[in-house]
Structures are given as structure tokens and as C-alpha cells.
């Protein structure tokens, strides 16, 4: 791996971007990825030119995506409008289908389609918790409790304080439990995360994170305490592939992601680890540079834009390289199936049904 411009990287053949395996292991990884049910717990596949990206999504061979309905301005009406647009895109495309329960992901696998479930990120409930029921009725099956900044629910991971859940936040968790809506803590502050895990009667997720022990300056990553508490309640840590959040190196890629998977598996067990890439088809670092000026300050979460992209996992198209990477790290077929989709399906089934 060497630093080259992103434009040049995208022109490289797969064998130059993907992890090198023996002929036997490569065949094993290919068959395993094709035969297993794969779920990406946090995606942005509908952002941008969806039709142009469909062939790349097919090459990813992922059966299920949980798509972020993202309105950074936290406007509920605009978020629901966007959800409607996304549902229309998915419903009208012959190769895709919406997902409202765990069985829909299984059906997608069986019928050769790709299923999309929807998450609010950031959540847009404000002080009106009846919006939780409205969002669920319109198709939302997961919501982030807080984004990087403070809300009525509690503190985000980018705040200078570490306040826990408010009384409103406690009620939000209870309402989401009652509905069967998945709770995501990926951008939440430390104490909000611990409070939500303790209060929730259902397993919760940090669906696009990494281990803060491996990169202590990034507050978006989760501490060992949060990861252990998550696992104790049967929850999941979905490991992401966001450039400049898993490492501060100038060269970053699939090996950094695998390092976080290895660490979290050893810390909390194979049954509590999944994948939530949170990457995109366009230039994610360029987007972060723009967001740093207009939406939130990256310094608040300890993120520095040192690397231009993630080698080997630059977009969802490179999903099969995760399976290759897990083969290269010595994981068994059974454990790989759990990480790339089995664990996610189990928790979705338990919470959503």
C-alpha cells in the first residue's frame, strides 16, 4: 500500500486493491462471501446517483443495508420527506426491496435482491416523542439517540461535557423498546451510551464505530467500558471504514478496519461484532472537509484528515475484501458468517422481529 491520488486508486484493478491470498484461500473467501448472508449496519448507498452505483452495489454482494436517513439540520418533516424519496427509489427498482423486519433480509438473499432498512441519523424527534411512533409507522426501524452535539436527549460524543440521558432521553429509550425500534449509540457521548445500554430492555447497537483504545484521540470511537457493557446486554459493535476515524496514519485502509475487528472480538466476543461501513461512493474526505466548515468541527471529536481514503475498503463496492481480510486473519467460516451478517440478523430479529 502506498499513497496515490484517489482518482488513480479508483482505476486500479481489484487484485491491486484487495488483500492478497493464496489461490485456495481466495476461492474459499469468494465462495464464503457469495453463500453467506451479509448485512451492512450503516450505509449511505442512496446518497448521490443511485442508478449509476447499482452495478457497484451488486458487486458488493451484500444482501442487506441499513440506510441512514440523514438530515443534519435535524428537521423531522424534511427527514420524513427524504425517507419517502428513499422508499420510492427502493420500491421501484427490480433488484432492491425495502426491509421492515429480519425476514426481509432472508427473503432478499433467497430471491437475489438487496434489501434496505432505514435508520434516522441524526434522530429528529426533538422534544416531541410522538415522532418516534410516526417515524416507525412510516418505515424507520432504527434511530440514533444523539449525534455529535447535545440534544434534548443527552450529550453527543463531540460535546465538551459528558452528561448522560435526560428524562426525555429515558422516555425515548422506553418508547423505542416498546415499538421494537433499534437504538444506535454510534455518535453518543460516553455516559449517554452507558445509560442507554443499562436502561434498554433490548440489545442496542453502536453500528458504525471502532475501539477507542486503538486510536484514543477520536471520541467517535467507543471505550472498552462501553463495548463491554454493550456485549453484556447482547448488543453489537458494527466496525466502520470511515477514513481518519480508525487511525491517524497518512496511509489507512482495510488493515486498520481488521485491527479494530480483531481487538473488539478479543474484548467482547465473536457474537457481538458486525460491520457498519458508513462509507460512500463519492469522496468522503472531501465531504468531511466541507462539513468541518459548515456543520460541525472535526476537532471536537478528535478527527484529523490525514489520509485521503481507505485502501481496500474505499466504498461499499469493496465489501468482499472484508471477507478476504477475515480469512487472512485466520477466522473460521462460522465466525466470518457471524461477523458479516449473522450477528446483525440475530439482533434485528430479537428487537424488530
Q: Which domains does the chain have, with CATH numbers?
A: 21-351 (3.20.20.140)
Q: What is the mean pLDDT of residues 63-72?
A: 91
DSSP state of 119: E
pLDDT score of 1 more than 80: no
Q: What is the pLDDT of residue 148?
A: 92
Largest CA distance in the chain: 57
DSSP state of 20: P
pLDDT score of 2 more than 70: no
> Closest by alpha carbon to 45, among 150, 118, 120?
118
Strand-pair partners of 116: 65, 98
Q: What is the mean pLDDT of residues 78-97?
A: 97
Q: Are 47 and 121 in contact (CB under 8 A)?
A: no
Provide the pLDDT confidence category of residue 70 given band limits of 50, 70 and 90.
confident
CA distance linking residue 37 with residue 56, whole number of Å:
18
CA distance linking residue 225 with residue 206, whole number of Å:
13
Q: What is the pLDDT of residue 47?
A: 86
Residue 175 dihedral angles phi and psi, to the nearest 5°: -65, -40
Residue 337 dihedral angles phi and psi, to the nearest 5°: -60, -35
Q: What is the pLDDT of residue 289?
A: 87
Q: Is the pTM of this model over 0.85?
A: yes
Lowest mean pLDDT, pick from 33-42, 123-132, 186-195 = 123-132
Which distant-in-sequence residues (6+ apart) come within 8 Å of 148 by Cβ? 156, 157, 158, 159, 187, 220, 296, 300, 301
CA distance linking residue 102 with residue 353, whole number of Å:
6
Amino acid at each position: 500500500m502506498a499513497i496515490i491520488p484517489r482518482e488513480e486508486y479508483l482505476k486500479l484493478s481489484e487484485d491491486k486493491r484487495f488483500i492478497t491470498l493464496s489461490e485456495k484461500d481466495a476461492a474459499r473467501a469468494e465462495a464464503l462471501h457469495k453463500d453467506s448472508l451479509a448485512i451492512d449496519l450503516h450505509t449511505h448507498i442512496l446518497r448521490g446517483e443511485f442508478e449509476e452505483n447499482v452495478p457497484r452495489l451488486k458487486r458488493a454482494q451484500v444482501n442487506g443495508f441499513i440506510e441512514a436517513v440523514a438530515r443534519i439540520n435535524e428537521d423531522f418533516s424534511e427527514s420524513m420527506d427524504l425517507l419517502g424519496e428513499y422508499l420510492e427509489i427502493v420500491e421501484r427498482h427490480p433488484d432492491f426491496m425495502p426491509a421492515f423486519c429480519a425476514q426481509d433480509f432472508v427473503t432478499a438473499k433467497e430471491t437475489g435482491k438487496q434489501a434496505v432498512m432505514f435508520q434516522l441519523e441524526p434522530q429528529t424527534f426533538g422534544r416531541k416523542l410522538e415522532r418516534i411512533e410516526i417515524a416507525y409507522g412510516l418505515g424507520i426501524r432504527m434511530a440514533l439517540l444523539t449525534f455529535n452535539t447535545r440534544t434534548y436527549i443527552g450529550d453527543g460524543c463531540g460535546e465538551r461535557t459528558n452528561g448522560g440521558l435526560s428524562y426525555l432521553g429515558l422516555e425515548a429509550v422506553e418508547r423505542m423498546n416498546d415499538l421494537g425500534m433499534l437504538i444506535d449509540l454510534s455518535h453518543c457521548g460516553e455516559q449517554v451510551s452507558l445509560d442507554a445500554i443499562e436502561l434498554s430492555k433490548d440489545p442496542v447497537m453502536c453500528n458504525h464505530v471502532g475501539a477507542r483504545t486503538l486510536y484514543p484521540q477520536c471520541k467517535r470511537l467507543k471505550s472498552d467500558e462501553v463495548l463491554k457493557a454493550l456485549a453484556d446486554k447482547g448488543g453489537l459493535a458494527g466496525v466502520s471504514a470511515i477514513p481518519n476515524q480508525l487511525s491517524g496514519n497518512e496511509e489507512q485502509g482495510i488493515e486498520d478496519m481488521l485491527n479494530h475487528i480483531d481487538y473488539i472480538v478479543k474484548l467482547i466476543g465473536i457474537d457481538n461484532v458486525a460491520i457498519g461501513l458508513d462509507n460512500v461512493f463519492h469522496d468522503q474526505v472531501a465531504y468531511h472537509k466541507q462539513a468541518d466548515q459548515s456543520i460541525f468541527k472535526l476537532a471536537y471529536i478528535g478527527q484529523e484528515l490525514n489520509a485521503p481514503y481507505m485502501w481496500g475498503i474505499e466504498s461499499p463496492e469493496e465489501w468482499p475484501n472484508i471477507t478476504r481480510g477475515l480469512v487472512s486473519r485466520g477466522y473460521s467460516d462460522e465466525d466470518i458468517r457471524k461477523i458479516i451478517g449473522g450477528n446483525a440478523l440475530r439482533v434485528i430479529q430479537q428487537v424488530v422481529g
